[in-house]
Amino acid sequence: EPEVTQTPSHQVTQMGQEVILRCVPISNHLYFYWYRQILGQKVEFLVSFYNNEISEKSEIFDDQFSVERPDGSNFTLKIRSTKLEDSAMYFCASSDGQGATYEQYFGPGTRLTVT
């Protein structure tokens, strides 16, 4: 069964450093998403991406964040200058359509620890 994969599973970085979280969505999917979950808190929507551009983003997704689909298979989330409060699980998801009935398939997540 096709699945969304994410690398690395755990990333430790120092405050102020740039990190890139990688995701390989399901191959025929067209819509891509990033979410984050701070430990003990809710899963929060960050951004959705379609046709090589951001289609929607939340208030969390500020100028420190960017997304890219560099090569037709990977979907990346870059945090330019990490802060302690960026420590969280980051989930990537993909779907083959947009709208309430299209299931988003989630990856296993990358745990980001900022020290």
Positions that interact with another protein (CB under 8 A): 4, 33, 35, 40-45, 91, 93, 100-101, 103-109
Query: What is the nearest approach in angstroms of another protein to the Cβ of residue 93?
Result: 8
Give 50 or 106: the residue with its C-beta nearer to another protein.
106
In sequence order, what E strands does 1-115 have?
5-7, 10-13, 19-24, 31-37, 43-50, 53-57, 65-68, 75-79, 88-95, 105-106, 110-114
Query: What is the nearest approach in angstroms of another protein to the Cβ of residue 68?
Result: 21
Query: What is the nearest approach in angstroms of another protein to the Cβ of residue 88?
Result: 13
User: In angstroms, how far apart are the furthest CA atoms of the chain?
Assistant: 40
